[in-house]
Structures are given as C-alpha cells and as structure tokens.
C-alpha cells in the first residue's frame, strides 16, 4: 500500500517540535523574536504550504470579537473574571493568552461621552408614545373585562359551515331554524326577525335586494341594539373623565431637537460600524440557532396536537380597499352586472346626464371602432391608469365635473372606477359593498383563521360637503360591512400642494381641519354610526409615495405654524408627521378620558434614496431617513412597507431592532408593481396640477425581485415582521386567499419550517390593532402584569403570557421564543455595558 506523507514544511516542523518538547512554552517562544515569527529561512523560498501556516490578521478577527465576543473564565485571587481573546488585528500572530478587555473594543464612552445614545433614543420614543396615548395600556379596548366589545364574540368552537343562519335558504330546513332566544343566549350577533334577516331596508321601504347567496355574520347587526348597549356603557363608565389627566404633548421645537439628536447619532461612523456588525452577528446567530435546534423545534411543533399553521390566526395588517379584489374577480363581477342589469342607471352628472351600465362602454367607442373588451374588462392598461392617475387624483379629492372634459378610453376608465370601486357614488357604493362582502368578508369568515385590517384612503371633499368620516361610516352601516374578521386603517395622503392648487384650502391648518375637525365635533358621541366605525379603526397611516410633490430647494423656516404655511410648497415628511401626531394626541386624550379606544399612528417609508430632506439640509440626509426617524419617534403601530429599512443606515436598522418596532412587508406586491406610464391628458394634468414634463428621469433602478426582498433578513435578525398582501389587484394574485398565498410563496422560496410560519402569524396578531380580548384568546397574551413570559413591542407595550406555556394557541415553539427574548436582552445588556466602563 502506498503511504502518503506530508511534504516537509519549515514553519510547521519548527513550531511542532517546539511545543512537543519539554519546556514547550519556552521553546515555543524561542521562535518568536520581538513578537514576530522566526521562520529561520528565506520567505521567498517557502512553499505555499508554509505560507498557509502563517497567521494573517484579517478584518474578520475584529468582526468576530465585536459580533460574537468569546469569553474565557479565569480565577484570580479567588475571584472569577471574564476574559476575552486578544484582538488579533493588532498583532501579526495568534496569541492564545487572554487579556482583560471589553466586548466591543470601541470605547463608546470616549466617543459618545457618558450618555448612552441607544437608551436616550429609546426614552425619547417612550416619551412621544405615552404623550399621545398610543400605548396599549392607554387603549381601553385592551381591557378584557371592561371594554365594550360589540358585537359579542362568537362561540369558541364556531364554524362557518355549522352556523345554520348563514346557509342558503334553499338548503335550510325550516324545522332546524334557530330560535331567536337561543341565538341571543349564545352571545353573538343580535339577529333580526327570521323573515327579513336577509332583506336590506332603505328609505323607500323594504327591498328584496340580496347579495346573491353569500351570507355572512354582519347581516345580523342591528344599529338600534348597538345604540342601547353603547349608551349603557357610556353611563357605566362616566366617572372615568374625572380621574383623567391630559398628557403634555412635546412642542415642535422639542421635536426638532430630538430629531437632530437622532440624525447626528446615525452619522457617527464608529457607532454605525458597530451597529452593522451587531446586525450581521444577530443574523448569523439565528442561522446557527436553526442549524442546531431545527429538529427540536419540529418535535415541539408535533407535540401540539390540535394547532398548526393553518388553524393559527393570521392578520393581514395592510390590505388596501382600492385593491382587495383580484383582476379576474373584478372582471367577472362587471360581466355579471352587464348581463343582469345593463340598463340600470349607475351615474348621473351635475348637468343631469344619466349613464346606464351599458352606456359606460358605448360612450367610450366610436362607430368605426367598436369596443372589443372580451372577457378581460379590467386589463393592464386600466390598472396602470387606475394606479398612476386615478388613485393620486380624483380618488383622493373627488371632482364631480371631471367627466365633462373626458373623452374616449379615459371616460370609460373614470366611470368604471367611480361605479365599481368607490363608496360615494350615485348607487351609494352598492357594487363595491357587494364585491367586498363576496370576495373578502365571505372568504375570511369561511376560513375563520384569516383576518385583515383594511386600509382606506381619506378623501378630501370640498367646502360645504359632508365629511368623509360621516360618509364612510354611513356606507358601512347601510350595507352592514361588519365582520369579526375585519378592522380598518385610514390612509392620509401628502396632497396639500394639490389641494391648495384646487382652491379647496388656504393653508396647512385647513388641511388638518379637513381630517380632524369632524372627529372633534363629534366628541360628544352624537353620531352613533361614526362612533361605531371609530371603535373598529386601528391606525392612521401617512402615505409617503414617490408621486408626492417635491421641489429641489430648502425651506427658509420650517418652524412656521400650520396656519401660516400658505405657500403651494408641499411640507416635509416631518412637518406632516408631527402635526398629524399632535392632532391625533389631542383626539386620543379625549377618547381615553371617555373610556373609548385610541388610535395609533403609522407611516410609509419613502422608496426613493435620491431626494435630500428639506427638514434640515445642513445635516445632509435623505427623506427616506427622515420618514424612518419620524416613525421611530412618533409611531407606535410601526412602519408600512419596511423593505427600504434594510438598506438604510445600519444604526437606524439596529435601533428598530432594539425598540422592537412592528413592520409590514409585502414581498409579492413589491415585485409585481406595474410600470409607470405617463398620460398626457390635459384634464388629468390639470387635476393633478402638473405640467407636461420636458425632462426624463434616466436613472436606472435595480430590478426588484422576490429573492432580493430583505424581509427574511429582517426576520432572522429578530424584527417584528408581518406579511401583508397589500394590493391584490396589482400583484397578480392567483388564488382567492391572498394572505395564504403570501405565506406559501415565502415558505416555498425560503424553505420555511412550521416554526417560522407560526412565528410570522403570531407576530401579525400581536402587532395588530385587534382588541385585547381576541389577542388573549388567539395567542394567550394580556397587557396586565403576570409572572409569566413577557414580550415588549415597540419598547413601550409589554404583553404577558396568561399561561406558563401558550404554544397550544399559536404553536410557536418555546425554544424559539426563549431564544428571541434572551437574544434581545443580551443586546441591551451589551449596549449598557459599554457605558459602564470607566
């Protein structure tokens, strides 16, 4: 047999002989001369094998020490001390002798002074959240025992298929009809009389209008019954206002100072370097954790017999009402209406001109070129127009006389959008209500375990018109758009410059008045419809979009009061955020004193990285950083569309982890966005207050793909990430359950296991705006103090497990939750240790 021997190596042989002989330490040191290796031969004559044995200092050595400090326990004078391996990057050879050193070797005390910037920023966030009553402890709906939860929850083991009220009349047996008293005793929706429970009534008398054979629990909602119960609740808790103290809202000057402190902290290169390495460490640590514990997690998942991902609650926290239905479903619904009621009047202009359903298509074609719509009425061209023109124009600030100057295809597009996708139209939003009940509410209730927070756009009506709050609340009550599986968010657009160009407002204060004045006027709970709607509103979102007006100049004085901001320039993101935050804080203070639910604030992250912030150009940061810093300070409910966060300054991303700020990602929607098409219609250019551009943006942007979406990196680090389907109409969804499609695609591409999926779903419930009763039932948490496991959300809200082991409710393995909590605590301990060293 042929034997293989290692070729002689000068360096390895010398060192091996030195450490194996007697006095190994002295002989090993003999090959070190002045701290350098004594090779004993010419380096130019050494082989590659010899060079491989030389210890070369690399940046990885320092990264390992910063990201994963390796401690050695030594005993000196009877005391145990922590030692860390010597920093290899400052030496030319490895040394196994430990020396006393801190874990970071950054001397943050010398860089930042005695003040801990991480703790200071966390305390600033706590100050703003508590001042606005956004925290869960101040929200009355998280009081499980005292909150007025209406309608009452369904029975614990309720199933859609077993509820005989919701079965079609043809298949129901008259002998098996549920008695009225029995239904009341079960504690869910107070039903109407059996003979008219499926009949909608209006001012003209009973109507036989039925939304097909689709039935849902909202049909049994009775406004009169709600009024009676609500008045009893108000009388019962009328003593709460006397013991309520309004919080002091930080001034705008104070907000600017805190904002500047955070931005300056982000721009410290050494601290930013440390944050980047800690983020890499957290990501790699989770990957190592999964390699070591994946089998243990699988076994722990299997020990929960009656709970898996499919029957664990999942909340879609940002489903847009403007795009909740798929392209195919919308086309089929329009075809159905064209076949059954083509001559129904669906639109009437100010001049009295009436449009029937069939005329919407006839008016948009010429005799020589008949309209050929085929089975795909909602095509890609309509979606491009709807997204880039309508949603940023007539949808946000409705204009009744827009059809006067529209011709051809744009006229048809406009009438289609008004008729089928709006709540305020000639038919009182009947078609949209029917679509929403059929394709959203019905689907959610049948699945039972899928829930959503539907985001709706606030519409700025002109002077003298009814407020949007009143109109939308009436639309919900009229068509009974009520379900256990649906809650609402309100989106506010940055359209001040467009509104002032239209002449609808004169300054920024009037812009704020359009949003909040109707809510302050109804603080005495006079409008019951509005109060019911507000009880189901979770968040207010500021939409930051690339279509927002922006001018390349710096504002002379950003401290201008809203009543004095009368120019046509669009204010900065920070200006919007603070004044919306200030008004929302006042509203929350009033509602908190009346023991009503409070609203939380969110915002979108700017997708552009090439716009300089106008809030303070001297600090040299982008409006993307501006929107993230505002979210860090002012928003308890987190950030929407958080994909840009991963590519922001690492210090900012690290702060979002340390503060455990909730975030929403929509990976499918981010990769299927429709390309922007420039329409040169004069009327739409006028409505959007734009002139035809003479320049083109030739900047090349990196193509967005699903694999490049950073949501898995955020998840591995330990962020509070929730998946959302966002706009199903634009993301080419292929199924009737878009949120399950999001989870299934993520599981297929990233090979997620059951523990990962259940953690996503549990986080979506924990960070959602659902009542504390449902969170306690679905994932076993409560805001009240408990000796069991606790979890901090946003470094403000602390939720406690009601039981020692809640995995039977959500099936997230205990080993995963303990890892998340221990890692989070270790990070804070690591940060605090850096400023305790003298």
Each residue of 475-501: pLDDT tens digit?
A: 999 999 999 999 999 999 999 999 998
Per-residue pLDDT at 107:
52
CB atoms within 10 A of CB 19: 11
Partnered with residue 201 across adjacent β-strands are 206
Confidence bin at 457 (pLDDT 50/70/90) = very high
Alpha-carbon span 397 to 393, nearest angstrom: 6
Q: Which of 47-51, 137-141, 269-273 has the lowest mean pLDDT?
A: 47-51
pLDDT of 153 over the 80 cut? yes
Alpha-carbon span 63 to 426, nearest angstrom: 65
Greater pLDDT, 353 or 807: 807
Segment 644-699, tens digit of pLDDT: 999 999 999 999 999 999 999 999 887 765 433 343 344 444 444 444 444 444 44
pLDDT of 27 over the 90 cut? no
Segment 535-593, tens digit of pLDDT: 999 999 999 988 888 888 878 788 899 999 988 889 999 999 999 999 999 999 999 88
Contacts of 702 (CB under 8 A, 6+ apart): 708
Greater pLDDT, 193 or 436: 436
Per-residue pLDDT at 374:
61
Q: Which whole number is the average pLDDT over 626-645?
A: 94
Confidence bin at 754 (pLDDT 50/70/90) = very high
Place of tokens 């990602």: 665
Alpha-carbon span 801 to 796, nearest angstrom: 17
Q: Is 200 helix (H, G, I), strand (E, B) or coil?
A: coil
Greater pLDDT, 209 or 577: 577
Per-residue pLDDT at 206:
34
pLDDT of 109 over the 80 cut? no
pLDDT of 254 over the 90 cut? yes
pLDDT of 464 over the 90 cut? no
Per-residue pLDDT at 606:
86
Contacts of 366 (CB under 8 A, 6+ apart): none
Percent of the chain residues past pLDDT 70, beyond the cut: 74
Q: Which of 48-57, 134-143, 317-326 has the lowest mean pLDDT?
A: 48-57
Contacts of 29 (CB under 8 A, 6+ apart): none
- Taking the C-alpha atoms of 270, 271, 275 and 281 in order, what is their torsion angle to the nearest 10 degrees? 60
Determine phi and psi for 623, rounding to 5 degrees.
Answer: -70, -15
pLDDT of 188 over the 90 cut? no
What is the separation of C-alpha 43 from the centre of its chain, rounded to a whole number of angstroms?
59
Confidence bin at 838 (pLDDT 50/70/90) = very low
Q: Where are the beta strands (DSSP E) in 391-441?
A: none
Q: Which long-range contacts (CB under 8 A, 24 or more apart) does 392-395 make?
A: 392/493, 392/495, 392/545, 392/547, 392/688, 393/498, 393/684, 393/687, 393/688, 394/687, 395/322, 395/422, 395/457, 395/459
Q: Which long-range contacts (CB under 8 A, 24 or more apart) does 462-469 make?
A: 462/397, 462/504, 463/504, 467/514, 467/517, 467/518, 469/518, 469/519, 469/530, 469/533
Q: Which whole number is the average pLDDT over 34-60?
A: 49
Give yes or no for a cis peptide into 151 (omega within 30° of 0).
yes
The mean pLDDT value of the chain amounts to 79
Q: Let me know: does 327 contact 383? Beta carbons within 8 Å.
A: yes
Determine phi and psi for 691, rounding to 5 degrees.
Answer: -105, 150
Tokens of 834: 């850096």
First to last CA, the chain: 65
Q: β-strands 314-320, 450-457: how paired? A: parallel
Q: Is 345 helix (H, G, I), strand (E, B) or coil?
A: strand
Per-residue pLDDT at 406:
77
Q: Let me know: does 699 contact 610? Beta carbons within 8 Å.
A: yes
pLDDT of 166 over the 80 cut? yes
pLDDT of 337 over the 80 cut? yes
Per-residue pLDDT at 15:
52
Greater pLDDT, 767 or 674: 767
Tokens of 212: 């097909």
Helix axes 650-658, 117-131, angle to 10 degrees: 60
Per-residue pLDDT at 644:
92
Segment 800-821, tens digit of pLDDT: 999 999 999 999 999 999 999 9
Q: Which whole number is the average pLDDT over 259-265?
A: 93
Alpha-carbon span 319 to 303, nearest angstrom: 34
Q: Which of 18-22, 127-131, 251-255, 752-756 has the lowest mean pLDDT?
A: 18-22
Alpha-carbon span 420 to 355, nearest angstrom: 14
Alpha-carbon span 407 to 363, nearest angstrom: 8
Per-residue pLDDT at 372:
59
pLDDT of 288 over the 90 cut? yes
**pTM for this structure?**
0.82
Alpha-carbon span 445 to 436, nearest angstrom: 12
Closest by alpha carbon to 340, among 210, 229, 219, 438? 210
Determine phi and psi for 152, rounding to 5 degrees.
Answer: -65, 150
Q: Which of 185-194, 644-653, 671-680, 786-795 has the lowest mean pLDDT?
A: 185-194
Alpha-carbon span 29 to 204, nearest angstrom: 102
Segment 499-524, tens digit of pLDDT: 998 888 999 999 999 999 999 987 66
Q: Half-sphere exposure of 49 toward its Cβ, with a 13 Å CA cutoff?
A: 8
Q: What is the largest distance, in Å, between two alpha-carbon atoms of the chain?
A: 108
What is the torsional sign of CA 219, 190, 315, 587? positive
Q: Which whole number is the average pLDDT over 323-338?
A: 90
Per-residue pLDDT at 365:
59
Alpha-carbon span 116 to 130, nearest angstrom: 21
pLDDT of 433 over the 90 cut? yes
Determine phi and psi for 284, rounding to 5 degrees.
Answer: -70, -35
Per-residue pLDDT at 306:
86
Q: Let me know: does 459 contact 493? Beta carbons within 8 Å.
A: no
Q: Let me know: does 641 contact 605? Beta carbons within 8 Å.
A: yes
Greater pLDDT, 766 or 163: 766
Alpha-carbon span 80 to 75, nearest angstrom: 5
Greater pLDDT, 388 or 125: 125
Q: Which structural domains are found in the chain, ordered by start? A: 10-94 (no CATH), 121-146+249-832 (3.20.20.140)
Tokens of 712: 């898995």
Percent of the chain residues past pLDDT 90, beyond the cut: 46
Q: Which of 168-172, 430-434, 450-454 has the lowest mean pLDDT?
A: 168-172
Alpha-carbon span 587 to 83, nearest angstrom: 54
């Amino acid at each position: 047999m042929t034997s293989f021997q290692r070729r002689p190596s000068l360096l390895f042989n010398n060192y091996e002989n030195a450490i194996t002989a007697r006095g190994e330490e002295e002989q090993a040191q003999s090959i070190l001369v002045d701290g350098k290796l004594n090779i004993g031969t010419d380096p130019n004559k050494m082989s590659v094998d010899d060079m491989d044995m030389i210890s070369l200092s690399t940046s990885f050595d320092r990264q390992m020490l910063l990201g994963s400090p390796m401690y050695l326990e030594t005993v000196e004078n009877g005391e145990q001390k922590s030692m860390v391996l010597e920093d290899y990057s400052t030496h030319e050879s490895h040394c196994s002798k430990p020396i006393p050193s801190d874990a970071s070797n950054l001397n943050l005390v010398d860089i930042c002074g005695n003040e801990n910037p991480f703790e200071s920023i966390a305390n600033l966030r706590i100050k703003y959240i508590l001042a606005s009553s956004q925290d869960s402890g101040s929200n009355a709906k998280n009081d499980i025992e005292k909150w007025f939860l209406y309608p009452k929850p369904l029975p614990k083991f309720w199933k859609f298929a077993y509820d005989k009220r919701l079965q079609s009349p043809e298949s129901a047996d008259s002998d098996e009809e549920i008695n009225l008293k029995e239904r009341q005793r079960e504690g869910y929706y107070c039903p109407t009389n059996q003979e008219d429970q499926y009949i909608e009534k209006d001012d003209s008398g009973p109507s036989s209008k039925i939304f097909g054979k689709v039935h849902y629990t909202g049909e049994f909602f009775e406004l009169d019954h709600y009024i009676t119960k609500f008045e009893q609740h108000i009388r019962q808790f009328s003593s709460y206002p006397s013991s309520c103290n309004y919080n002091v809202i930080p001034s705008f000057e104070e907000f600017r100072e805190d904002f500047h402190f955070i931005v300056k902290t982000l721009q410290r290169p050494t601290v930013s370097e440390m944050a980047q390495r800690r983020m890499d460490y957290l990501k790699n640590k989770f990957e190592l954790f999964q390699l070591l514990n994946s089998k243990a997690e699988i076994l722990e998942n299997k020990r929960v017999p009656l709970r898996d991902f499919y029957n664990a609650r999942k909340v879609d926290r940002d489903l847009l009402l403007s795009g909740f239905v798929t392209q195919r479903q919308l086309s089929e619904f329009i075809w159905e209406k064209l076949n059954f009621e083509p001559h129904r009047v669906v639109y009437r202009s100010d001049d009295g001109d009436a449009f029937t359903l069939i005329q919407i298509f006839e008016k948009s074609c010429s005799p020589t070129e008949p309209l050929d719509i085929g089975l795909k009425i909602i095509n890609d061209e309509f979606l491009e127009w709807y997204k880039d023109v309508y949603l940023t124009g007539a949808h946000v600030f409705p204009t009744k006389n827009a059809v006067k100057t529209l011709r051809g295809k744009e006229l048809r597009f406009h009438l289609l959008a008004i008729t089928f996708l709006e709540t305020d139209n000639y038919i009182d939003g009947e078609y949209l209500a029917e679509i929403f009940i059929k394709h959203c509410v019905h689907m959610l209730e049948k699945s039972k375990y899928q829930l959503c927070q539907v985001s709706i756009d606030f519409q700025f009506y002109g002077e003298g018109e009814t407020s949007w709050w009143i109109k939308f609340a009436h639309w919900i009550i009229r068509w009974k758009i009520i379900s256990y599986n649906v809650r609402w968010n309100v989106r506010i657009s940055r359209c001040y410059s467009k509104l002032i160009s239209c002449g609808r407002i004169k300054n920024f204060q009037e812009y704020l008045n359009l949003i909040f004045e109707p809510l302050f006027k109804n603080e005495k709970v006079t409008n019951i419809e509005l109060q019911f709607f507000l009880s189901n509103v979770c968040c207010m979102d500021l939409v930051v979009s690339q279509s927002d007006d922006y001018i390349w100049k710096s504002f002379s004085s950003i401290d201008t009061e809203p009543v004095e901001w009368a120019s046509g320039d669009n204010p900065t993101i920070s200006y919007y955020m603070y004044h919306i935050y200030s008004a929302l804080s006042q509203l929350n203070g009033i509602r908190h004193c009346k023991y009503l639910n409070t609203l939380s604030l969110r915002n979108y992250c700017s997708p552009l990285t090439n716009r300089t912030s106008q809030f303070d150009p001297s600090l040299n940061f982008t409006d993307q950083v501006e929107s993230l810093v505002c979210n860090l300070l002012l928003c308890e409910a987190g950030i929407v569309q958080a994909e840009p966060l991963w590519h922001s300054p690492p210090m900012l991303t690290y702060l979002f982890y340390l503060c455990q700020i909730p975030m929403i990602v929509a990976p499918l929607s981010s990769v299927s966005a429709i390309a922007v098409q420039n329409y040169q219609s004069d009327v739409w250019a006028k409505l959007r207050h734009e002139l035809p551009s003479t320049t083109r943006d030739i900047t090349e942007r990196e193509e967005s793909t699903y694999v490049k979406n950073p949501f898995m990196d955020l998840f591995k680090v330990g962020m509070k990430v929730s998946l959302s389907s966002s706009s199903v109409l634009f993301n080419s969804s292929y199924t009737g359950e878009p949120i399950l499609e999001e989870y299934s695609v993520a599981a297929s591409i990233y090979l997620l296991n059951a523990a990962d999926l259940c953690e996503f779903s549990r986080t979506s419930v924990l960070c959602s705006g659902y009542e504390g009763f449902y969170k306690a039932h679905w994932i076993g948490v409560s805001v009240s103090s408990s000796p069991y496991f606790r979890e901090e959300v946003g470094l403000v809200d602390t939720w406690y497990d009601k039981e020692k082991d809640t995995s039977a409710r959500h099936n997230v393995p205990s080993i995963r939750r303990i890892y998340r909590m221990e890692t989070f605590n270790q990070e804070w301990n690591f940060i605090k240790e850096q400023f305790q060293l003298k």
